[in-house]
Amino acid sequence: MNTVQYAPSKIKKALVISSILLVFLALLIWSAYGVLVRDTNWSKIGTIEQVWRAITRFFPPTWSYVLQLGKPTLDTFLIALLGTFIALVLSIPVAWFAARNFTPFFPITYPLGRFIMTISRSVHEVVWALIFVAAVGLGPFAGIIALGMRSVGFTAKLTAEQIENIDYRPIEAIRAVGGSPFQVFMYGTVPQVLPLFIGTAIFQWDINIRRATIIGIVGGGGLGLVFSQKMAAYQYTHATACLVAILILVLVGEYTSTRLRTLIQ
């Protein structure tokens, strides 16, 4: 009797899954046709030989040039560092506003905090960079502010959530000994929130190294800027040398941030 009952629901499940797959496949074929077949100018791309030759123009990287990239690498590194620092400073008030339990005036400050966080995370770092390049000109300064704007959302969001989840017991204790609101904050709230705050800071710094290289391309300075300059000058192997430098920087950043984060815990 039971085997008969199971069979119909199994068949139903199989039917649903296969119809979803069919729809997906149809969409895939339709879009492949639209993009690859119709909208691609295949004559311009050339033969396989030509494509391969274009790729080889980028290799091998001009190793001697890598050694000359010390300053742009440092620039990118510092842009990431300063951008993260700005984000951290800004995320303190933003996280405070966006924490339901400590926000100073809920009807206004809470939505404001949440809004700032959302905007920060929705606008891509390249767009932020373009905005600030237009505002303050080309160079690292625009890049730093752009990264700050982009990172605030993440650090503030995690910090606000941590604030909303704190344990109230030490807070009660600090009030009971006669602590002022500042002391309640310093000894009750901060010890519970600080480790996470620092952890997100280190995490964002690592990500910002990668972001810094990209925004360099739109004028943010550092290795990204050098890369776009070399591409514009058709010096492809030099551009690849830039990529090598970027790779090294990113790897060093990742390693350092992982070690630091384990230290914090």
CB count within 10 Å of CB 184 equals 18
When the beta carbons of 84 and 189 are compared against another protein, the nearer one is 189
Smallest gap from Cβ 91 to another protein, in A, equals 20
Contact between 173 and another protein (CB under 8 A)? yes
Q: What is the DSSP string of 39-67?
A: S--HHHH--HHHHHHHHHTT-S--HHHHH
The C-alpha atoms of residue 127 and residue 131 are separated, in whole angstroms, by 6
Cβ proximity to another protein, 40 vs 183, nearer residue: 183
* Cβ contact 206:197 at 8 Å: no
Query: Toward another protein, which CB reaches closer, 48 or 177?
Result: 177
Decide if residue 170 touches another protein (CB under 8 A): yes
- Residue among 136 and 172 whose Cβ is closer to another protein: 172
* Contact call for residue 169 and another protein (CB under 8 A): yes
CB neighbours of residue 180 within 10 Å: 10
> Which of the residues 20 through 39 are near another protein (CB under 8 A)?
none
Contact between 188 and another protein per CB under 8 A:
yes
* Structural contact between residues 125 and 146, judged by C-beta atoms closer than 8 angstroms: yes
Q: Rule CB under 8 A: say whether 263 interacts with another protein.
A: no
CB neighbours (10 Å) of residue 5? 8
Closest CB 169 distance from another protein, rounded Å: 4
Q: Cβ(198)–Cβ(206) under 8 Å?
A: no
Closer of 67 and 172 to another protein (Cβ): 172
User: Footprint of another protein on this chain (CB under 8 A)?
Assistant: 167, 169-170, 172-180, 182-183, 186-188, 191-192, 195
